């Protein structure tokens, strides 16, 4: 049980951590000042959620590791974030399409997780719902603007959808280790939220006048810690300082 709960919480934490790390790359480089501030806010929310999950994961594991140990001292094959979260930012359309996919996912995920029998997980989810509701509004409004803005923005948004769609299926995969947690009412049934996610995202794509990609071969692997090449570089950058000074406190 506790190992399954550790793995489950770890994956939730990794997912937010890696996404936040990507979002934070935009800070100071946004398309205009107000948007720079908004995206940094979203990065901050996401990082805060990651920290809460990782703190809890460390506590559940009970081996004396901290949230920082989990973030900075695990290798690439020990991370379980969905592949989409580690994809490079690309242009602003790609970042916003990635956000639409993840924001809507998080919205339904956290709404269900808020009902979890595990009170810590439900507490983290309840706090995150308020933030993610705003995130959805933000990314969905950009998708609508891009899709209906200029020819260029429409094309960029469509390209981003086409590129990222291959990473959407694995968001709803459930590892065998979660079955027990599901039965106990701790974990979320991802099949249930997939339908809600699809309806919501289909509607956003329609409002943006974009085409939903079809017949896409879906990538997978993150449940087994098998990632795209991008994660290694992200971790090298994120982890190098604590690893150079493993006994240091910051």
Partner 1 sequence: MNDRDSMKPGDLLLPVKSFCRLSGQIIAPLSFEIHAFSVKFAYSLTRSAYMEQNINFEDIFESKLAKNDFIEPKDWMPDNYRKHLIRQISQHAHSEIVGMLPEGNWITRAPSLRSKIVLLAKVQDEGGHGLYLYTAAETLGVSRDELLDALHTGKAKYSSIFNYPTLTWADVGAIGWLVDGAAIMNQVMLQRSSYGPYSRAMVRICKEESFHQRQGYEIMTHLAFGTPEQKQMAQDALNRWWYPTMMMFGPPDKDSPNSENAIKWRIKRETNDQLRQRFVNQTVPQAEYLGLTVPDEKLTWNEAKQGYDFSEPDWVEFKNVINGNGPCNKQRLKARNDAHKNGAWVREAAAAYAKKKGESTAVAA
Positive/negative CA dihedral, 201, 195, 4, 84: negative
Nearest Cα residue to 85 out of 46, 130, 44: 46
115-121 contact pairs (CB < 8 A, 24+): 115/185, 116/185, 116/186, 116/187, 116/188, 117/184, 117/185, 117/186, 118/5, 118/186, 120/56, 121/9, 121/12, 121/56, 121/186
- Which span sits near partner 1 by CB under 8 A: 126-134, 169-177, 219-227, 240-248? 240-248
For position 32 contacting partner 1 by CB under 8 A, the verdict is: yes
Q: Among residues 157 and 181, whose Cβ is nearest to partner 1? A: 157
| Residue 72 CB neighbour total at 10 angstroms | 17
Dist CA 31 CA 91 (whole Å) = 10
Least Å distance between CB 81 and partner 1? Answer: 15
Least Å distance between CB 225 and partner 1? Answer: 21
For position 114 contacting partner 1 by CB under 8 A, the verdict is: no
Q: Among residues 2 and 247, whose Cβ is nearest to partner 1? A: 247
For position 68 contacting partner 1 by CB under 8 A, the verdict is: yes
SS percent in the chain: helix, strand, coil, step 5: 75, 0, 25
Q: Among residues 24 and 184, whose Cβ is nearest to partner 1? A: 24
Least Å distance between CB 242 and partner 1? Answer: 5
The torsion of the CA quartet 190, 83, 219, 98, rounded to 10 degrees, works out to 80
Contact 40, 109 (CB under 8 A): no
For position 63 contacting partner 1 by CB under 8 A, the verdict is: no
For position 206 contacting partner 1 by CB under 8 A, the verdict is: no
For position 164 contacting partner 1 by CB under 8 A, the verdict is: no
Among 2, 29, 62, 217, which residue sits at the site for partner 1 (rule: CB under 8 A)? 29
Among 12, 18, 50, 136, which residue sits at the site for partner 1 (rule: CB under 8 A)? 50
Binding site for partner 1 (CB under 8 A): 17, 21, 24-25, 27-37, 40-41, 43-44, 47-48, 50-51, 54, 67-68, 71-72, 91-92, 144-146, 148-150, 152-153, 156, 237-238, 240-242, 245, 247-250
């Amino acid at each position: 049980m506790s190992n399954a709960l550790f793995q489950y919480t770890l994956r939730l934490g990794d997912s937010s951590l890696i996404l936040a790390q990507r979002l934070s790359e935009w800070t100071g480089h946004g398309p205009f000042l107000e948007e720079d501030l908004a995206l940094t806010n979203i990065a901050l929310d996401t990082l805060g959620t990651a920290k809460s999950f990782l703190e809890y994961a460390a506590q559940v594991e009970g081996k004396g590791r901290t949230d920082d140990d989990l973030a900075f001292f695990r290798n690439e094959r020990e991370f379980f974030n969905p592949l989409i979260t580690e994809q490079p930012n690309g242009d602003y359309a790609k970042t916003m399409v990635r956000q639409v996919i993840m924001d809507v996912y998080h919205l339904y995920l956290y709404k269900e997780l808020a009902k979890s029998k595990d009170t810590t997980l439900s507490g983290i989810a309840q706090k995150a719902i308020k933030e993610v509701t705003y995130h959805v509004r933000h990314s969905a409004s950009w998708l609508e603007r891009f899709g209906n803005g200029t020819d260029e923005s429409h094309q960029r948004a469509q390209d981003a959808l086409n590129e990222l769609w291959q990473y959407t299926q694995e968001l709803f995969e459930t590892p065998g280790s979660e079955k027990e947690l599901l039965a106990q009412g701790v974990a979320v049934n991802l099949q249930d939220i997939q339908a809600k996610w699809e309806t919501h995202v289909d509607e956003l794509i329609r409002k943006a006048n974009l085409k939903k990609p079809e017949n896409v071969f879906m990538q997978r692997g993150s449940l087994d810690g098998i990632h795209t090449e991008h994660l290694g570089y992200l971790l090298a950058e994120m982890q190098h300082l604590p690893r150079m000074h493993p006994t240091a406190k910051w």
